Amino acid sequence: MPILTEDRRTGTVPPPPFKPSGGRGDDGSPDSGSSSFPIPKGQLGVWILLTAIIMLFAGLSSAYIVLRGVPAWQNIELPWLLWPNTTILLLSSVAIDISRRAVRRGDLQSMKRWLASGGILGVAFLVGQLAAWRQLVNAGVYLPSTLQSGFFYILTGLHGLHLLGGVIALGLVLAKALKNRLTAFNYEPLKLCAMYWHVMDALWVYLFLLLLLS
Amino acid sequence: MSELHAADHAHHEMGFLHKYVFSTDHKIIGIQYLITAMAMAVVGGLLSMLMRYQLAWPQGVSPIMAKIFPVAYNGGLMEPGFYISLVTMHGTIMVFFLFTAVLLGGFGNFLIPLQIGARDMAFPFLNALSYWIFLLSCIVIFSALFVTSGAPMGGWTAYAPLSAVPAAAPGQATGMTLWITAIALFSVSGLMGGLNYITTILTMRTRGMSMMRLPLATWSLLVTSILGLLAFPVLLGAGLLLMFDRMGGTSFFVPAGIIMNQMPIDHSGGHPLLWQHLFWFFGHPEVYIVVLPAMGMASDILSAFCRKPIFSYRMMVYSMVAIAVLSFVVWGHHMFVSGMNPFLGSVFTLTTLLIAVPSAIKTFNWLGTVWGARIRFTPAALFALGFVSMFVSGGLSGVFLGTSAADIQLQDTYFVVAHFHLVMAIAPLFAAFAGIYFWFPKMFGRFMNPTLGKIHFWFTFIGAYCVFFPMHVIGIGGQMRRIYDPTQYMFLQPQQPVNVFISISAFVLGSAQLIFLFNFFFSIFGGRVAERNPWHATTLEWIAPTPPGHGNFGEELPTVHRWPFDYSVPGEREDFVPQTVPATVTAQH
């Protein structure tokens, strides 16, 4: 007579049916565990990293909003270069997404082309941000000039560093692509890179609005 | 990232350096964290001994100390500034570099892959990097003790504007800069670890290991990692702003028109309370980053030695999640006297007291687990029981402090010191000891000496209560925290004998830890050899060989068929059923 101790102890159902290992589109390794979690570990890792980055900027934004209320707050005139820079960054996101769609179709040539142009646009954005800093410096606005100028340099600088990380990652993905190691069935690195890039893009739009609307 | 393949690494030999120093194996990294944190604990503990010596005999001239620390003990008497540095360094080292490191870094690394049935962490290289950045942060904070201008003096909370202006005090110059650097490095290392833990627990569980079959230690580490992931970046951001205030000339935390050391400070427009908000938004979750893993480990250990399933597993999990969520909306209770709106104070009182509900659920569940059990009183069991005792003792005073009206009276007294030491230092310390005695055989393949362990327990248990219980009384009597010489105040003089008693108890408590250190290091090489499952426990780490090899589980990963608490199941031949035993097979015994 079978005694289902499991049921009696916990009131839970018997163990779930086993899934055949492998073939989960994960990382292909047979030992990567058989948990039924729907997101592969690379993607989850990037999402966790992005959560940490978002919390960093959330903390800084809350400081920004609190200090906006103090009497000494003074707005600075934002450099006009930020507008073209924002456009460039948005275009780079578009390029990277076109590249992602291309690899899904199996159009590797187009994937490489658009990936490279996305990277070039990203570098152009970073150079543009430095030029925007230059504009501010020429206008006599430095880091300690006002509270907002301090935030401006810190927020744009931190965002720039995070995007620089994205550019480096994109460079590595591009190197992989040029060695023809990305295919329509295995383009996980490109997917992760695109995810990170889009969030950095959205983060910039948010920061720009935060700086603009105070 | 190096993917691990069982076939590759089962048989290949590695050099000593690669195997034990620059390893990416989660077990080695866990032990590295454990031993580094123990070294930091020795430093932090010695600092507290100096503080207790000063508080008991503030006028006593000590020629020996004058020889060892000629600057800090000018003429044999401790400099007041040095005492504040001791407060700062003791707090910082213990909170970050002992408790967070040992519970999250040490046990987190060692236990997670073993308990979920994985071969290693999701990102082993990142894991190793996390340890090396942690070690770097330890070196940076340790070096702050030896700079000529003195160690930082801002307290472990580094309140602005004193922390934002290098001229505020000698220790606030280079010392404070090193403090911020160390904390920033520590945050980065913690984030790398947390990223690994969450990914590993969610995606690498072995077959059959559903979330509701995870041991409570792993559950607590998952919840804690999520807390760290949300809290540490805010500290990092605040530290960045603080650094710019100190070095970049900005004024985020420094208001206009302040004068320090008779010097007007050239800053304008900042908001010192902003630092407190940002710090405590991190700082309160940090308390639970330390306490939650302690709770999870104690739950598993209590269950194993009571030979009973944990009382209400599901509520244990849900209450942990509830504590984690609530911990983000209570930070204001550290700031009741900062001039906040009394209505806001009431809101923070309400949210703070709400935490008592899940905490009480956990406490009653532990009592329910222990109730009527034939407990095996090993050192691990004793320390797990000690954890519950300390947590309750410290938690009850939290109800007083969480109520804004009472807190206004008690804040910045030794009542607070007693409260937070019991609840977030001594309680996690007991859980960490329990964890070490419990998992030591799995880590090193040998037992720690149980007799020495029991002696260690009784000295520590009685010692901790003798140190921290009287502090409630002298706190209500009005003794301020961070005070350098209580005898300077007429109204504190009558209770000076209590200070002497506390200090003597503290020396006994501190010396008792030498028994532990001896036992730990001696047993690594000379302890009795342990078998695979010495405690007859049910979780997966006890199915792995002792000590587990690279890859943990040999050729094939285990398959899980049941929850982790099948102790004393009626109708079974043995009083435990490992998680890998299928339900129907056991019935045929």
Q: Is the peptide bond before B161 cis (omega within 30 degrees of 0)?
A: yes
Would B143 be classed as within a structural domain?
yes
- Is B281 in Cβ contact with A55 (below 8 Å)? no
- Is A37 in Cβ contact with B205 (below 8 Å)? yes
Of B203, B234, B256, which has the smallest distance from its Cβ to A37's Cβ?
Answer: B203
Chain A residue nearest residue B5, CA to CA = A31
Q: How many residues would you count in chain B? A: 589
Contacts (Cβ under 8 Å, ≥6 apart) of B339: B273
Same domain, B246 and B375: no
Q: Domain residues for B231?
A: 25-251
- Is B252 in Cβ contact with A144 (below 8 Å)? no
> Which residues from chain B sit within 8 angstroms of residue A147, using beta carbons?
250-252, 269-270
Alpha carbon B222 to its chain centroid, in Å, reads 15
> Which residues from chain A sit within 8 angstroms of residue B194, using beta carbons?
48
Residue from A79, A54, A177 nearest A119 by CA: A177
CA distance B195 to B119: 17
pLDDT at B20: 80
CA distance A62 to A112: 40
> Which residues from chain B sit within 8 angstroms of residue A1, using beta carbons?
587
B482: left (phi over 0), alpha (psi -120 to 50) or beta: left
What ranges do the domains of chain A cover? 41-212
Report the SS3 class of residue B529.
strand
Would B150 be classed as within a structural domain?
yes
Same domain, B349 and B466: yes
> Which residues from chain A sit within 8 angstroms of residue B278, using beta carbons?
59, 62-63
Contacts (Cβ under 8 Å, ≥6 apart) of B489: none
CA distance B521 to B6: 31
Residue B24, token pair as written in the block:
């990416």
Task: State the 10-residue block means of pLDDT for chain A, 214 residues long.
Answer: 40 42 37 67 95 97 94 92 97 96 92 96 97 96 93 97 97 93 90 96 97 89
The alpha-carbon radius of gyration of chain A (Å, integer) is 23
Of B194, B234, B584, which has the smallest distance from its Cβ to A59's Cβ?
Answer: B234
A61-85 burial: b if 16+ Cβ within 10 Å, else e: bbbbeebeebeeeeebebbebbeeb
Number of domains chain B is built from: 2
The DSSP string of B82-121 is: HHHHHHHHHHHIIIIIIIIIIIIIIIIHHHHHHHHT-SS-
CA distance A144 to chain B (A): 4
Q: Any idea what DSSP says for residue B310?
A: P
Instruction: Report the 3 state secondary structure along chain A.
Output: CCCCHHHHHHCCCCCCCCCCCCCCCCCCCCCCCCCCCCCCHHHHHHHHHHHHHHHHHHHHHHHHHHHHCCCCCCCCCCCCCHHHHHHHHHHHHHHHHHHHHHHHHCCHHHHHHHHHHHHHHHHHHHHHHHHHHHHHHHCCCCCCCCHHHHHHHHHHHHHHHHHHHHHHHHHHHHHHHHCCCCECCECHHHHHHHHHHHHHHHHHHHHHHHHHCC
Report the SS3 class of residue B567.
strand
Same domain, B324 and B206: no
pLDDT at B585: 55
Q: Is the peptide bond before B547 cis (omega within 30 degrees of 0)?
A: yes
Would B295 be classed as within a structural domain?
no
Would B171 be classed as within a structural domain?
yes
Backbone angles phi, psi at B435, to 5 degrees: -60, -40
pLDDT at B555: 84
**Burial zone of B227 (CB within 10 Å; 0-12 exposed, 13-18 middle, 19+ buried):** buried
Residues B539, B548: contact at Cβ < 8 Å?
A: no
pLDDT at B521: 97
Of B250, B560, B584, which has the smallest distance from its Cβ to A2's Cβ?
Answer: B584
Same domain, B234 and B375: no
Rounded to whole angstroms, what are the CA distances from B448 to B149, B528, B547?
43, 8, 14
Residue from B368, B4, B445, B431 nearest B221 by CA: B431
Looking at B508, B527, B546, which one is the last position of a domain?
Answer: B527
- Is A60 in Cβ contact with B237 (below 8 Å)? yes
Chain B residue nearest residue A63, CA to CA = B274
Would B286 be classed as within a structural domain?
no
Which residues are paired to B264 by β-bridges? B259
Same domain, B206 and B318: no
Side chain identity, residue A114: W
Residues B119, B153: contact at Cβ < 8 Å?
A: no
Residues B150, B78: contact at Cβ < 8 Å?
A: no
Would B42 be classed as within a structural domain?
yes
Question: Is this complex scored with an ipTM above 0.90?
Answer: yes
Chain B residue nearest residue A44, CA to CA = B199
CA distance A137 to B317: 54
Which positions 77-136 of A are in contact with B (Cβ < 8 Å)?
none
Which positions 50-69 of A are in contact with B (Cβ < 8 Å)?
51-53, 55-60, 62-63, 66-67
> Which residues from chain A sit within 8 angstroms of residue B268, using beta carbons?
72
Residues B199, A44: contact at Cβ < 8 Å?
A: yes
Per-residue pLDDT for chain B (589 aa), expressed as one digit of tens each?
344 444 444 445 667 777 788 899 999 999 999 999 999 999 999 999 999 999 999 988 888 888 888 888 888 899 999 999 999 999 999 999 999 999 999 999 999 999 999 999 999 999 999 999 999 999 999 999 999 888 999 999 999 889 999 988 888 999 999 999 999 999 999 999 999 999 999 999 999 999 999 999 999 999 999 999 999 999 999 999 999 999 999 999 999 888 888 888 888 888 999 999 999 999 999 999 999 999 999 999 999 999 999 999 999 999 999 999 999 999 999 999 998 898 999 999 999 999 999 999 999 999 999 999 999 999 999 999 999 999 999 999 999 999 999 999 999 999 999 999 999 999 999 999 999 999 999 999 999 999 999 999 999 999 999 999 999 999 999 999 999 999 999 999 999 999 999 999 999 999 999 999 999 999 999 999 999 999 999 999 999 998 998 889 988 899 999 999 999 999 888 999 999 999 765 554 4
Same domain, B180 and B45: yes
Residues B463, B47: contact at Cβ < 8 Å?
A: no
Residues B144, B152: contact at Cβ < 8 Å?
A: yes
Largest CA distance in chain A: 87
pLDDT at A183: 87
Domain harbouring B467, CATH code: 1.20.210.10
Residue B491, token pair as written in the block:
């109204």
Report the SS3 class of residue B251.
coil
Which residues are paired to B567 by β-bridges? B576
Interface membership of A70 toward B (CB under 8 Å): yes
Report the SS3 class of residue B504.
helix
Rounded to whole angstroms, what are the CA distances from B522 to A70, B22, B55?
60, 24, 34
CA distance B489 to B83: 17
The third-level CATH classification (topology) of the domain covering A41-212 is Four Helix Bundle (Hemerythrin (Met), subunit A) (1.20.120)
pLDDT at A25: 35
Would B434 be classed as within a structural domain?
yes
Contacts (Cβ under 8 Å, ≥6 apart) of B188: B133, B236
Other beta carbons within 10 angstroms of residue A109's beta carbon come to: 8
Looking at B527, B549, B567, which one is the last position of a domain?
Answer: B527
- Is A34 in Cβ contact with B252 (below 8 Å)? no
Would B520 be classed as within a structural domain?
yes
Q: Which helix (H) or strand (E) holds B260?
A: strand B259-260
Residue from B118, B279, B259, B585 nearest A59 by CA: B279
Looking at B201, B222, B251, which one is the last position of a domain?
Answer: B251
- Is A33 in Cβ contact with B252 (below 8 Å)? no
- Is B277 in Cβ contact with A9 (below 8 Å)? no
**Burial zone of B584 (CB within 10 Å; 0-12 exposed, 13-18 middle, 19+ buried):** middle
> Which residues from chain B sit within 8 angstroms of residue A6, using beta carbons?
561-563, 583
Report the SS3 class of residue B152.
coil
Same domain, B348 and B448: yes
Residue B255, token pair as written in the block:
């208001």
pLDDT at B101: 96
The alpha-carbon radius of gyration of chain B (Å, integer) is 24
Same domain, B360 and B470: yes
Same domain, B365 and B449: yes
